[in-house]
Amino acid sequence: HRYQTLDYVLGKEKQYFGLTRGKKSVWEAADYLNTLVDDSDPDTDLTQLEHLLQTSEAIRRDGHPRWMVLVGFIHDLGKCLCLYGEPQWGVVGDTFPVGCAWSEQIVFPEYFADNPDRNVPQYQTECGIYEPNCGLENVHMSFGHDGYIAEVTKPYLPDEALYMLRFHSFYAWHRQCAYKHLENDKDRAMLEWVKKFNPYDLYSKGHTKPDVKQLKPYYDELFAEFLPEKLAW
């Protein structure tokens, strides 16, 4: 919380959203991510790849659209930011808008006391640098894995999928109903999809390990349906 200033976020967006870190397939990105230990996720003794497959398989079992199964698999791939040298506090955990007043609904709001943006009056008004009802797509969110994977896949996936990716850690909005003053009609329509995805992210972490080899042909086909062979990262 204390380091996620508007200037920090704008700098990170500039650094990463140009997608200049080479091309990788989804499997290559998942293998790369597998080398990461996520401090924020105490619930699982599975590898990152196994967690992704558990999430996507739970979505598939419940008969959701194929693009949502894909979201389940790729939703945490942006955590590879940690492997580029970003600190975990800047990659995982809850996300929130920057450049406007912080909601009390954000987890651990007391830590904002040390954030330099507290001393910028413009950033401490309800809408801050934004217009009322400007839409969440026009809001700068604290930097992390959600926004990054949404940028990587933006040209290829439907809006519902991109909202799930971009906002799955924005609990103050999709769980606590904060930031209504920044929402537009599209956000309100998309909110139900973000909520639909959330239980799979949180509670699909069982302890039976998915059989990667057996599942691979299904996912090869799924990735090919929506995505190019290699994605720019």
**What is the per-residue pLDDT for 43?**
56
Domain 6-226, CATH class in plain words: mainly alpha
One-letter amino acid identity for 136? L
Residues 194-231 have pLDDT tens digits of 999 999 987 665 667 899 999 999 999 999 999 999 99
Task: Read off the pLDDT band of 48 (50, 70, 90).
Answer: confident
| For residues 48-72, average pLDDT | 95
Task: Read off the pLDDT band of 38 (50, 70, 90).
Answer: low
Residue 31 confidence (pLDDT) above 60: yes
Q: Which two tokens stand for residue 16?
A: 């990463």
- For the chain, give every domain's residue range: 6-226
Residues 171-185 have pLDDT tens digits of 999 999 999 999 999
> Is 143 within 8 Å of 84 (Cβ atoms)?
no
| For residues 134-153, average pLDDT | 98
Task: Read off the pLDDT band of 90 (50, 70, 90).
Answer: very high
| For residues 140-151, average pLDDT | 98
Distance between CA atoms of residues 101 and 123, nearest Å: 6
> Is 81 within 8 Å of 148 (Cβ atoms)?
yes
**What is the per-residue pLDDT for 185?**
98
Which of the 8 DSSP states describes residue 97?
A: B
Alpha helices per DSSP H over 18-170: 26-33, 48-61, 66-74, 145-153, 159-167
| For residues 147-168, average pLDDT | 98
Q: Which residue has the tokens 């997608």?
A: 19
Q: Which two tokens stand for residue 52?
A: 């992704």
Closest CA to 69 of 218, 230, 171, 192: 218
Sign of the dihedral defined by the CA atoms of residues 223, 165, 231, 46, in that order: negative
